[in-house]
Amino acid sequence: MRLRPCTKAAGSFLRVRVAPATLLGAIAVAVVVGTRAPAIADVQGPNFPSTVVNDPSTGMDPWIAPEQAAVSDNIRALISAPGFFQSYYLKATGFGFSIPSGAVIEGIQVNVERLGVFPDFDAAVRIVKGGIVGTTDRSMPGYWSALPPDDEVATYGDGSDLWGETWTAADINGMNFGFALSAAGADNIALVDSISITVFYSTNCGNSQIDVNEDCDDGNTANGDCCSATCHLDTPGTPCPDATVCNGVETCDGAGTCLPGAPLDCDDDNLCTRDSCDAGGGCAHDGSLVTGCRAALKSILLLKDKSPDDKDKLLWKWVKGEPTTQADFGVPTGTTQYALCLHAGTAAALVADYAIPGDGVKWTPISTKGYKYTDPGGSSDGITKVLLKGSPQDKSKCVVKGKGVGLDDFDLTTLVDPVTVQLINDATSACFESTFDEADFITSDDPSEFKAKAR
C-alpha cells in the first residue's frame, strides 16, 4: 500500500510519498515543493515462472521434474548423480511482469529456494534475456547449506544489478525473460523448490507547474491521479508510446488520454504479396505462394528478355484445368483485379509480377463460361491478352500473353527448379497454378529465353 498525504497551501504544494518498509528496509519520505516529480523508484515481484525446463547448453546431467521449481511448495526439482556432476541449466521463464512502457530498469534480484547435501555449489548463475542465457555469472562462493526439510534462500543480484545487460520494459515483460541455474557436486543430491524474480525500475510522472486542476501525484504511472499510464496532463499533442506502430502515432489530449493516430496503410498495390503490419517492424509484404490453387493437366511457360526491350515476350498457358465456373473468376469487367505471379527456387521467391486491372472495356464476357482481356498496347505491365474459360470437367483454360517494354526485366538464368506461376484475383478464392520442375525445362543456348512445359 502506498500512502498519499497531500497538502495545498497558498503559493506552495506539498507531496509526501511513503515507501513500504518491507521492500526498502526503512520508511523513506520524499518531499517535492512546486517542481516536477523526480524519477520514482518502483518494484514488481517477487514473481514466479510459468515454465521451468532443462537447458542442456551447459553441464552433463538433467534435472528431474524441473517444473517443480516453479512454486514454493516444498515439492522440488532434483539433481542426483554418482561421482562428480554438473547439472544442465534449470531454466525458468514466463514471470508475468507488466513493467510500464518507458520505465527505466534499475536492477533485477533473483531468489532461489534451494536445499543441498554437502558439498553442492553454484556452477553457473545467469539471467535469461529473449530466451538466451546471458554471459554474466552471479555464482556465489561456498557450498549450498540447509537441513531438510527447510530450504535456504539464496539471493542473486539486487536493486542496482543489471546483470551486464541493457533492458527495456518489453524485455522484462516478455515470456522469454528469466533465469538459469546450474549446480555441481559429488555423490550427492541438490534440490530447488522455487525461483522468483523481483524487478526494480523508475518512472517520471507529474506536472511541471502547480495549478488548481492538479490532483495529488502518488508517484507512479497508474491511472487515477494527474498521470495515466502513457499521458501527462501537461503535455497535450505529444506522442503516446504504445506496444504497436500499426495504429500510427497516438497523441496525448492533455487530460491523460491517448488520441488514436491514422493506422499505417500497408497496401503495396501488389496482389502477389500479402500485406500485414508487425507491431514492432511496421508494414510487411509476404511474397510467398498462395495455397489451395487449382492445377491443370498441361502448362506452358515462355519468357524472352531481349534487347531492345520491345522484343520481350511472355506466354503462360494453363490447359485442361480443374472444374471452374464463370463466377469463380469474379467480375473483371467490374472491379475484380488479376495478377500473374512468378516464383522460383525451393524458397519460392517472388521474381516477377504482372498486374491486370478490372476494366469494363478491355475485359469482355465469354458467354457464361468466362472472360477475355484485350490490350494491344500492353498498358498494364505489358499484358496484351488474357483468356479465362471455365468448364464443369477438367477442361478449364487460362492464358496470359504479354510483350514489350512493360514486362518485368530480370535475369532468366535465375529461374531455378521449381518455377511456379500463379494467377490470382482479389475477389474470389479461386487461383490457378502451374509448377515446372527441372525435368520440364526446355534447354536453350540463349540465356535471354526460358521455356518449360509440364504435363
Give the residue among 281, 94, 55, 107 at the shortest CA–CA distance from 174.
94
Give the pLDDT score at 46.
Answer: 96
Cell of residue 295, nine digits = 492445377
Which of the residue ranges 122-131, 273-282, 285-294, 375-384 would you say has the lowest mean pLDDT? 273-282
CA gap 90, 150 in Å, rounded: 20
* More confidently predicted of 321 and 39: 321
Indicate whether 96 pLDDT > 70: yes
Cβ–Cβ contacts within 10 Å for residue 142, how many? Answer: 8
Indicate whether 453 pLDDT > 70: yes
* Span 341-355, average pLDDT: 96
* Span 69-93, average pLDDT: 92
Residue 380 DSSP symbol:
T
Give the residue among 389, 344, 342, 346 at the shortest CA–CA distance from 365.
389
Give the pLDDT score at 220.
Answer: 44
* Span 201-219, average pLDDT: 47
CA gap 437, 446 in Å, rounded: 19
Give the pLDDT score at 4.
Answer: 33
Pick the CATH number of 45-201 from 3.30.70, 2.60.120, 3.40.50, 2.60.40: 2.60.120
Q: What is the DSSP string of 34-62?
A: SS----EEEEEEEE--SEEEEETTS-SBP
Tell me the pLDDT band of 233, cut-offs 50, 70 and 90: low
* Span 336-345, average pLDDT: 97
* Span 34-45, average pLDDT: 59
| Contact by Cβ (8 Å): 217, 225 | yes
CA gap 40, 226 in Å, rounded: 15
Amino acid 116 reads: G
Tell me the pLDDT band of 42, cut-offs 50, 70 and 90: confident
* Span 424-443, average pLDDT: 96
* Span 27-31, average pLDDT: 29
CA–CA distances in Å: residue 300 to residues 304, 395, 421, 450: 14, 15, 10, 11
By DSSP bridging, strand 313-321 and strand 396-403 are antiparallel
* Span 187-210, average pLDDT: 76
Tell me the pLDDT band of 245, cut-offs 50, 70 and 90: confident
Give the pLDDT score at 28.
Answer: 30
Indicate whether 8 pLDDT > 90: no
pLDDT tens-digit map of 162-195: 999 999 999 999 999 999 999 998 877 899 999 9
In the chain, what percentage of residues exceed pLDDT 70?
82
Indicate whether 209 pLDDT > 90: no
Residue 188 DSSP symbol:
E
Give the pLDDT score at 248.
Answer: 83
CA gap 34, 31 in Å, rounded: 10
Mean per-residue pLDDT of the chain: 84
Give the pLDDT score at 32.
Answer: 30
Indicate whether 399 pLDDT > 50: yes
Indicate whether 47 pLDDT > 60: yes
Cell of residue 50, nine digits = 510459468
pLDDT tens-digit map of 212-230: 333 334 444 444 444 455 5
Give the pLDDT score at 37.
Answer: 39
Give the pLDDT score at 208.
Answer: 36
pLDDT tens-digit map of 356-391: 999 999 999 999 999 999 999 999 999 999 999 999
* Span 203-210, average pLDDT: 45
279-282's contacts with Cβ under 8 Å and 24+ in sequence apart are: 279/243, 279/244, 279/245, 279/246, 280/244, 280/245, 281/245, 282/245, 282/246
Indicate whether 39 pLDDT > 90: no
Give the pLDDT score at 149.
Answer: 65
Sign of CA dihedral 266, 270, 276, 282: negative
Give the pLDDT score at 211.
Answer: 35
Task: List b or e across 17-36, with b for residues whose CB sees 16 or more CB atoms inside 10 angstroms.
Answer: bebeeeeeeeeeeeebeeee
